[in-house]
């Protein structure tokens, strides 16, 4: 249907108006979303024809805050970038500082870091699998998955005293040690977990689940490489990348033989889900190996963290870790006063969220929730960065002065 | 029992029983998911709480349709249950009442979706189009299943169906192969008519935020919840009395109307559990296309077979 539409500047323009198209505001508040993100989805009947992704609803200015704090305070600040992968953020940050200050944490500390890292990966993946089940209306699987996840959270509480923000890392080591009885408890939990994860794996192969997850949300391999998607999202599209293997950190160099990188070629939602389920088995295996060869010795080089902080000179470093959602990058630039002159965080959700558009276009409305969930977006992570919508140009950039005024 | 007394008595019974069954359904659903679940009388709390809430009509909505339809939907589904209950309790019915019940049941779900689409919310519109697709999918097999019963009992009256079972001394679904097939088709249609999980595409909360119900709150939502609960009750009660009239095994229905009624209610609860609670616990939600395909490939041929067998006198 042709319509004459008057533009802003008084010109008339021949625009094709398609009345079968419907623009649905998907978010920022929607039952399918764990965190606020706004998708403006244009649909024709049930088919998606266009998607606009608008970020920035939970922008908290963490990078700016970090510049007003000292190095130790920032350690606790970056932990709060994300609730699910808090340990990844602190590990990444602490690694950069240790690089600048030439501090070498003891072996045992590196192993304990890796232990918490893998526990966190299990808890994050279980969280996502539950959400995926919930999105397709399979509440029973959702309840079961989260019930299993509780055992990991209990372990966190027993090891570090906290369920979500573990505060495990400190400069030059870790804060909490595990004793022999704890090692045995983790071992037995892992044994049970292996059984439960097998059940979850079987449930995800159920016909009614497969019907919803297979053949939706395709992301081709070359598209995945072009958009630089990372983590399980990339590995589900056949891109063989994993920071743990490619740039080993913490104790992963010693554990090189004990895990393999799970890669699936198909690139649909089911492939991404399966990558995560199989990674759970890998993580359980890694944890058992860590506990078997846990070296003795101290858990940190120095108890007085302030003394250690003063030892860090001016300098800059880049640090990489494989967070549950993919590659996490920190750029840290310290100044002479024991503070930061620049902190740059590039979370895995930023590239992954860009992958949503090619996944969504051509699918149905019913697929939106599963597809969004399948990249496991962590909006609180992504929204420290101001994103300007290049398509409409409507979004204003939130610079520091705007943020201050709004406060 | 006097027909008028029975009819007037059924309204409070429908109200209490439908919300009670809804509560039992939620409790069992929760226990099957290893949750504690809400108290069994939670739907009553919800109903009273919602009635006391503010009435909100969106500015975009066509307000008259938006506000009248909840009442009509609740009225039609309660009426459908009331007709069935009165028949069983008083032992009378009028010709064509099964057609009226079928109409009222379809009516209450159509009214909900029309109310949703009048709200001006795009999710309401999507819910409307999905519900219309689903109606075409499950109403045809449901209607054919009714038709096979009409052919079998040579009547469109509800009480005649019960009388036939009493006369035969067995349940309809056990006595005749055509009725067994018809019962299967009918039971397959219940989850879709009740918007239970594998077929709740029109309300899918993670996809389209309860579709038609997205803008409804307060007393309107309370009425819709009541409408849904009583239409579920009416469907399951209808299924158990049409095909599985258990009291028929124990002699004539006239002398023990109250006992027969209670037995039928318990049977309805069991059918509710089997056709609504179990599917919504063990399955994931289907897409519209998949649900439509299921009904036209599985339920429709079954109901056609039932009609053919019934016409052949089996």
Higher pLDDT pick, A21 / A287: A287
Q: Take residue A165 and report the two structure tokens written for it.
A: 């923000």
State ipTM: 0.78
N- to C-terminal Cα separation, chain A: 47
The C-alpha atoms of residue A261 and residue A241 are separated, in whole angstroms, by 8
Number of inter-chain CB pairs under 8 A, A vs B: 78
What is the average pLDDT across A60-74? 84
Cβ distance B32 to A24 less than 8 Å, yes or no, reads no
**Domain boundaries defined on chain A:** 2-58+360-406, 62-351
pLDDT at A166: 85
Which residues does chain B have within 8 Å of residue A144's beta carbon, measured at their own beta carbons? 33-34
Q: What is the CATH number of domain A62-351?
A: 1.10.645.10
CA distances from A242 to A89, A252, B120 (A): 17, 11, 48
Percent of the residues in chain A that have a pLDDT greater than 70, as a whole number: 87
Q: Which residues from B are below 8 Å from A20, CB to CB?
A: none
Question: Which is higher by pLDDT, B243 or B170?
Answer: B243
Q: Which residues of A touch B122 (CB under 8 A)?
A: 22-25
**To which residue do tokens 């495990």 refer?**
A168
Nearest chain B alpha carbon to A25: B122
Q: Which two tokens stand for residue A401?
A: 């002065």
Cβ-based contacts of A369 with chain B (< 8 Å): 206-207
Give the separation between CA B107 and CA B70, rounded to whole angstroms.
Answer: 12
Average pLDDT of chain A to the nearest whole number: 81
pLDDT tens-digit series, residues A156-166: 898 988 888 88
Query: Which of B281, B279, B192 minimizes the C-alpha distance to B232?
Result: B192
Q: How far is Cα B39 from Cα B45, in angstroms, rounded to an integer?
A: 10
Q: What's residue A379's pLDDT?
A: 66
* Closest-CA distance of chain B to residue A303, Å: 45
Which domain does B277 fall in, by range? 3-311
Quickly state the pLDDT bin for A1 (edges 50, 70, 90): very low
Question: What would the DSSP string read from start to end of A214-246?
Answer: TT-S---HHHHHHTT--HHHHHTTT----HHHH
Q: pLDDT of B182-217, one tens digit each?
A: 889 999 989 988 888 888 888 878 777 888 888 888
Nearest CA distance, B20 vs chain A (angstrom)? 22
Q: How confident is the model at residue A405 (pLDDT cuts 50, 70, 90)?
A: low
pLDDT digits (tens, 9 = 90+) for A205-232: 888 788 888 888 888 888 888 888 888 8
**DSSP element (H, E) containing A373:** helix A368-374
Query: What is the per-residue pLDDT for A382?
Result: 58
pLDDT of residue A389: 43
Question: What span, in angstroms and rounded, lies between the C-alpha atoms of B2 and B90?
Answer: 6
> Least CA distance to B288: which residue of chain A?
A366
Give residue B42's pLDDT. Answer: 92
Q: A45, B129: Cβ pair inside 8 Å? A: yes
Q: How many domains does chain B have?
A: 1
Nearest CA in chain B to A142: B33
In whole angstroms, give the CA distance from residue B157 to residue B165. Answer: 13
**Which tops the pLDDT comparison, A396 or B155?**
B155
Which tens digits make up the pLDDT trace of B252-307?
Answer: 555 556 777 888 888 899 999 999 999 988 888 888 888 888 898 988 998 898 88
Chain A residues with CB-CB distance to B283 below 8 A: 137-138, 208
**Nearest beta carbon to residue B200 from set A31, A137, A141:** A137
B69 close to A (CB below 8 A): no
- C-alpha distance from A134 to closest chain B C-alpha (Å): 8
Q: What local confidence, expressed as pLDDT, does residue B26 receive?
A: 92
Query: Alpha-carbon distance B79 to B111, whole Å?
Result: 14
- pLDDT score of A40: 80
- Does the structure show a pLDDT above 60 at A392? no
CB A111 within 8 A of CB B260: no
Q: Which residue has the higher pLDDT, A5 or A240?
A: A240
Q: What is the pLDDT of residue A56?
A: 72
Residue A292 contacts B, CB cutoff 8 Å? no
A11-51 pLDDT, tens digit each: 555 555 555 677 777 777 777 777 777 788 887 777 888 88
pTM summary value = 0.81
Pick from A134, A143, A211: CB nearest B286: A211
Of A32, A133, A141, nearest to B207 by CB-CB distance is A32
pLDDT of residue A380: 62
Maximum Cα–Cα distance across chain A: 78
Q: Which residues pair with B92 in a beta bridge?
A: none
Q: With an 8 Å Cβ cutoff, is A269 touching chain B?
A: no
pLDDT value for A402: 47
Nearest Cα to Cα of residue B109 among B13, B3, B184, B195: B195
SS3 labels along B143-190: HHHHHHHHHHHCCCCHHHHHHHHHHHCCCHHHHCHHHHHHHHHHHHHH
Q: B277 in helix, strand or coil?
A: helix
Q: What mean pLDDT do residues B170-178 have?
A: 79
> In terms of CA atoms, which chain A residue is nearest residue B123?
A24
Structure tokens at B87: 């028949």
Helix (H, G, I), strand (E, B) or coil at B285: coil
> Looking at the predicted structure, is the pLDDT value of residue B45 above 90?
yes
How far apart CA A198 and CA A108 sit, in angstroms, is: 31
Give tens-digit pLDDT for B47-73.
999 999 988 888 877 778 888 889 999
* pLDDT at position A383: 55
pLDDT band at A397 (very low <50, low <70, confident <90, very high): very low
């Amino acid at each position: 249907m042709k319509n004459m539409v008057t533009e802003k500047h008084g010109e008339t323009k021949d625009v094709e108006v398609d009345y079968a198209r419907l623009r649905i505001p998907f978010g920022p508040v929607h039952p399918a979303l764990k965190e606020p993100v706004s998708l403006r989805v244009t649909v024709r009947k049930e088919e998606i024809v266009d998607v606009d992704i608008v970020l920035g609803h939970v922008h908290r200015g963490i990078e700016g805050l970090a510049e007003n704090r000292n190095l130790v305070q920032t350690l606790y600040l970056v932990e709060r970038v994300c609730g699910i992968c808090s340990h990844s953020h602190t590990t990444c940050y602490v690694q950069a500082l240790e690089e600048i200050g030439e501090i070498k944490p003891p072996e045992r500390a590196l192993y304990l870091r890796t232990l918490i890292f893998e526990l966190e990966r299990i808890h994050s993946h279980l969280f996502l699998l539950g959400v995926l089940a919930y999105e397709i209306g399979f509440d029973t699987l959702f309840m079961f998955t989260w019930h299993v996840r509780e055992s990991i959270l209990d372990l966190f509480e027993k090891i570090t005293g906290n369920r979500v923000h573990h505060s495990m890392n400190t400069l030059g080591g870790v804060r909490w040690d595990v004793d022999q009885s704890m090692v045995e408890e983790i071992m037995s939990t892992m044994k049970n977990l292996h059984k439960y994860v097998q059940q979850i794996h079987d449930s995800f192969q159920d016909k009614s689940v497969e019907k919803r997850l297979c053949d939706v949300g395709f992301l081709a391999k070359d598209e995945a490489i072009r958009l630089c998607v990372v983590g399980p999202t990339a590995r589900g599209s056949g891109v063989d990348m994993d920071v743990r293997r490619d740039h080993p950190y913490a104790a992963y160099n010693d554990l090189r033989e004990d895990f393999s990188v799970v890669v699936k070629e198909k690139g649909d939602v089911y492939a991404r889900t399966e990558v995560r389920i199989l990674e759970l088995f890998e993580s359980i295996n890694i944890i058992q190996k860590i506990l078997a060869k846990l070296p003795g010795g101290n858990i940190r080089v120095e108890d007085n963290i302030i003394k250690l902080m003063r030892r860090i000179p001016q300098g800059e470093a880049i640090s990489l870790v494989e967070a549950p959602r993919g590659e996490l990058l920190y750029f840290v630039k310290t100044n002479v006063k024991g503070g930061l002159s620049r902190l740059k965080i590039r979370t895995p959700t930023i590239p992954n969220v860009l992958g949503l558009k090619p996944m969504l276009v051509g699918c149905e409305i019913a697929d939106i929730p599963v597809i969004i969930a399948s990249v496991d977006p962590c909006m609180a992570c992504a929204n420290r960065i101001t994103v300007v919508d290049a398509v409409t140009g409507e979004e204003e950039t939130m610079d520091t002065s705007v943020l201050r005024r709004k406060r | 029992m006097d027909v008028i007394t029975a009819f007037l008595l059924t309204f409070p019974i429908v109200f209490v029983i439908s919300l009670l069954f809804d509560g039992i359904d939620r409790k069992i659903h929760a226990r099957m998911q290893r949750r504690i679940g809400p108290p069994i009388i939670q739907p009553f709390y919800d109903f009273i709480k919602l009635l006391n809430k503010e009435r909100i009509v969106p500015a975009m909505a066509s307000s008259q349709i938006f506000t009248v339809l909840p009442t009509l939907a609740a009225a039609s589904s309660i009426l459908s249950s009331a007709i069935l209950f009165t028949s069983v309790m008083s032992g009378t019915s009028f010709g064509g009442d099964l057609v009226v019940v079928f109409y009222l049941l379809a009516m209450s779900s159509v009214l909900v979706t029309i109310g949703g689409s009048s709200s001006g919310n795009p999710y309401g519109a999507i819910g409307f189009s999905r519900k219309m697709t689903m109606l075409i999918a499950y109403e045809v097999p449901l209607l054919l299943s009714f038709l096979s019963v009409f052919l079998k009992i040579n009547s469109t009256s509800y009480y005649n169906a019960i009388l036939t079972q009493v006369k035969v001394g067995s349940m309809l679904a056990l006595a005749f192969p055509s009725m067994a097939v018809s019962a299967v088709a009918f039971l397959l249609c219940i989850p879709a008519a009740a918007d239970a999980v594998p077929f709740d595409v029109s309300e899918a909360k993670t996809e389209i935020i309860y579709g038609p119900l997205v803008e409804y709150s307060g007393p309107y939502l309370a009425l819709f919840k009541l409408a849904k609960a009583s239409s579920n009750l009416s469907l399951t009660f209808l299924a158990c009395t049409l095909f599985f009239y258990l009291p028929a095994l124990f002699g004539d229905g006239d002398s023990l109307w109250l006992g027969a009624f209670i037995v039928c209610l318990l049977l309805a609860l069991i059918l509710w559990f089997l056709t609504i609670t179990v599917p919504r616990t063990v399955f994931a939600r289907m897409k519209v296309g998949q649900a439509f395909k299921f009904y036209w490939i599985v339920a429709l041929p079954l109901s056609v077979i039932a009609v053919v067998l019934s016409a052949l006198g089996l």
